[in-house]
Chains A and B, each alone.
Chain A
Amino acid sequence: MVDEEGFREFVQVRLPRLSRAAYLLAGGHAQAEDLLQATLIKAALGWSRISEAQDPEAYVRRILYHEHVRTWRRRRWREHSTATPPERAHEDGTNQTVLRLVLQQALARLTPRQRAVVILRYFEDLSEAQTAQVMSVSVGTVKSQTSHALARLRKLAPELADHVRESMEVGS
Chain B
Amino acid sequence: MTRLSEILDELADQAKVYDVTDQSVRAARRRHRQRFGMKTAVRVTAAVCLIAVVAAILPLSFSGGTGVPEAGPGRLDGEPAALVRPLLDAPTRGSLAGDRAYLDAVLARITGDPERYGLPDDRARLRILFAGDVPGKRRLVIVAGFTAQPRKVELTGSRGASARRLDLTGWSDLEEPIVRTEWRGERLDTGYALVFGPAGYDVWVSERPRYLADGTVGRDWRPEPAGYVLRDVADMPAGLRVRMSRGETVLYEGPVAAVGAKRTGAVDPAPLYGRGTPAPTAAGSAADALAYQFGLTGPDVHYVVLWSDAFEVDDPNGTGTGMGQIATVMAVTADGGGPYITIATDASPQPNARNHPTGEGVAGDPAKALIAMRLPHFTAEASDALQIIGPPAASRAEIRQGDTVVTTTPLDDGVGRVELPGPADVTVRVYDEHGAVLAERAFADVGATPAGSVEPELKGWK
A134-172 interface with B by 8 A CB criterion: 135-137, 141, 153, 160, 162-164, 166-167, 170
Bound Cα distance from A163 to B10, whole angstroms: 14
Q: Is the CB of A122 within 8 A of B4?
A: yes
Q: Is the CB of A41 within 8 A of B28?
A: yes
Report A159 CB to chain B, min CB distance, Å: 10
B7 contacts partner chain A, Cβ-Cβ < 8 Å: yes
Number of interface residues of A (CB under 8 A): 58
Stretch in contact with the other chain, from A17-25, A50-58, A84-92: A17-25
Q: Is the CB of A122 within 8 A of B8?
A: yes
Q: Is the CB of B21 within 8 A of A122?
A: no
What are 21 of the A-B contact pairs (CB < 8 Å)?
A1-B29, A1-B32, A15-B18, A24-B12, A29-B16, A37-B18, A40-B20, A44-B27, A75-B63, A77-B457, A78-B175, A80-B447, A80-B448, A103-B8, A103-B11, A113-B381, A135-B381, A136-B380, A137-B379, A166-B4, A170-B3
Stretch in contact with the other chain, from B66-74, B221-229, B329-337: B66-74
Q: Is the CB of B3 within 8 A of A123?
A: no
What's the dominant secondary structure at chain B's contact region?
Answer: loop
Q: Is the CB of B379 within 8 A of A12?
A: no
Which residue from chain A places its CB closest to the CB of B315 in the assembled complex?
A136
Contacts of B73 in A (CB 8 A): 29-30, 33
Given A122-B8, A135-B381; A11-B448 close (CB under 8 Å): no
Report B11 CB to chain A, min CB distance, Å: 5
Q: Is the CB of B21 within 8 A of A40?
A: yes
B325-382 interface with A by 8 A CB criterion: 357, 379-381
Q: Is the CB of A30 within 8 A of B75?
A: yes
| Of A20, A23, A96, A135, the contact of B7 (CB 8 Å cutoff) | A96
Q: Is the CB of A33 within 8 A of B32?
A: no
A36 contacts partner chain B, Cβ-Cβ < 8 Å: yes
Q: Which residues of A contact B (CB under 8 A)?
A: 1, 4, 7-8, 11-12, 15-16, 19-24, 29-30, 32-34, 36-37, 40-41, 43-45, 66, 69-70, 74-75, 77-78, 80, 96, 99-100, 103-104, 107, 113, 118-119, 122-123, 125, 135-137, 141, 153, 160, 162-164, 166-167, 170
Contacts of B74 in A (CB 8 A): 29-30
Bound Cα distance from A23 to B20, whole angstroms: 14
Bound Cα distance from A34 to B31, whole angstroms: 16
Given A74-B63, A80-B447; A33-B20 close (CB under 8 Å): yes
| Of A1, A80, A103, A122, the contact of B446 (CB 8 Å cutoff) | A80
Report A125 CB to chain B, min CB distance, Å: 7
| Of A24, A33, A69, the contact of B8 (CB 8 Å cutoff) | A24
Report A117 CB to chain B, min CB distance, Å: 11
Report B253 CB to chain A, min CB distance, Å: 14
| Of A45, A119, A141, A166, the contact of B31 (CB 8 Å cutoff) | A45
Contacts of A45 in B (CB 8 A): 28, 31-32
Contacts of B7 in A (CB 8 A): 96, 99-100, 103, 160, 163
B17 contacts partner chain A, Cβ-Cβ < 8 Å: yes
Report A82 CB to chain B, min CB distance, Å: 11
B248 contacts partner chain A, Cβ-Cβ < 8 Å: no
Q: Is the CB of B19 within 8 A of A96?
A: no
B9 contacts partner chain A, Cβ-Cβ < 8 Å: yes
Report A133 CB to chain B, min CB distance, Å: 11
- Which of B18, B19, B175: most chain A Cβ within 10 A? B18
Q: Is the CB of B28 within 8 A of A123?
A: no
Contacts of B379 in A (CB 8 A): 136-137
Bound Cα distance from A166 to B1, whole angstroms: 8
Bound Cα distance from A24 to B25, whole angstroms: 24
Q: Is the CB of A96 within 8 A of B4?
A: no
Contacts of A44 in B (CB 8 A): 24-25, 27-28
Q: Is the CB of B10 within 8 A of A96?
A: yes
Contacts of A20 in B (CB 8 A): 12-13, 15
Contacts of B75 in A (CB 8 A): 30
Q: Is the CB of B9 within 8 A of A123?
A: yes
| Of A33, A66, A135, the contact of B18 (CB 8 Å cutoff) | A33
Contacts of B12 in A (CB 8 A): 20-21, 23-24, 123
Report B251 CB to chain A, min CB distance, Å: 16
- Which of B12, B59, B70: most chain A Cβ within 10 A? B12
Bound Cα distance from A163 to B79, whole angstroms: 38
Q: Is the CB of A8 within 8 A of B316?
A: no
Q: Is the CB of B18 within 8 A of A19?
A: yes
